[in-house]
């Protein structure tokens, strides 16, 4: 990656790691509210109680912060999606597990979903390409399972259906107005219904 995160400073790995996580969380909140270009290193430093330039002990640049956020969430989405779907006993259970995982992820990471949609183009080219590669792999898990469950559905339809479900679930920065358990249940029911609806598009 062209703007990889720098080495953390500090007296120990646990402390350094905790500080990095604190900085990432604060930056995610600020980027989500004000946009990547609307936030300075001084804003991020103030949010975690350090000077702006002190951030460079943890990250090479503001761009490296954004890169770590978006590349890491895409990698996590893919790896956990693979794990959960592979652990399921059949395509029906695997697709339900993917829905559960994506709903959980979307409710846990509201700022990062906002940043992904709005600030992806602010990444360096190599980092943006990596995010897109990881996301394509994630989409392919869904496409494969949709077609295993509904063999009559052609690949372009399965892919469009998967993206439509992502749009539904990733609406959480705007739609998550219920208690956590209620919102999880609502998104899960709606997503599974939408996936079942993909098959009806090819039925006579």
Quote the tokens at residue 99. 């829905």
Q: Taking all residues of the chain, what is their mean pLDDT, rounded to a whole number? A: 90
* Buried-state track 123-137, b at ≥16 Cβ within 10 A, e below 16: bbeebbebbeebbeb
Tell me the per-residue pLDDT of 33-91, one tens digit each, with 9 for 90 and over. 999 999 999 999 999 998 878 888 899 999 999 999 999 999 999 999 999 999 999 99
Tell me the per-residue pLDDT of 85-129, one tens digit each, with 9 for 90 and over. 999 999 999 999 999 999 999 999 999 999 999 999 999 999 999
8 Å CB contact between 71 and 119: no
Transcribe 99-140 into DSSP letters: HHHHHHHHHH-HHHHHHHHHHGGGS-HHHHHHHHHHHHHHHH
8 Å CB contact between 195 and 165: yes
Quote the tokens at residue 148. 């295993």
Read off the pLDDT band of 12 (50, 70, 90).
Answer: very low
* Virtual torsion, Cα 165, 119, 172, 97, nearest 10 deg: 50
Q: Is the pLDDT of residue 10 over 50?
A: no
Read off the pLDDT band of 7 (50, 70, 90).
Answer: very low
d(CA 6, CA 28): 18
Q: Is the pLDDT of residue 13 over 80?
A: no
d(CA 158, CA 119): 27
Please report which residue ranges of the chain form alpha helices under DSSP H: 13-34, 41-48, 62-87, 91-108, 110-119, 125-149, 155-169, 172-175, 180-200
Quote the tokens at residue 47. 């949010």
């Amino acid at each position: 990656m062209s703007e990889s995160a720098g080495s953390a400073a500090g007296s120990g790995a646990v402390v350094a790691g905790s500080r990095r996580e604190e900085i990432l969380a604060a930056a995610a909140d600020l980027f989500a509210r004000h946009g990547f270009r609307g936030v300075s290193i001084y804003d991020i430093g103030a949010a975690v109680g350090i000077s702006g330039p002190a951030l460079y002990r943890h990250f090479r640049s503001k761009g490296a912060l954004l890169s770590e956020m978006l590349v890491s969430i895409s990698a996590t989405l893919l790896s956990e999606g693979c794990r959960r779907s592979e652990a399921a006993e059949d395509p029906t259970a695997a697709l339900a597990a993917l829905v559960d995982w994506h709903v959980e992820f979307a409710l846990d990471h509201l700022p990062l979903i906002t940043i992904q949609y709005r600030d992806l183009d602010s990444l360096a080219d190599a980092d943006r390409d990596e995010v897109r590669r990881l996301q394509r792999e994630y989409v392919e898990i869904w496409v494969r399972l949709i077609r295993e469950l509904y063999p009559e559905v052609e690949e372009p339809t399965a892919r469009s259906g998967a993206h439509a479900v992502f749009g539904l679930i990733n609406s959480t920065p705007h739609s998550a107005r219920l208690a956590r358990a209620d919102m999880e249940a609502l998104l899960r029911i709606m997503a599974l219904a939408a996936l079942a609806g993909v098959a009806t598009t090819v039925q006579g």
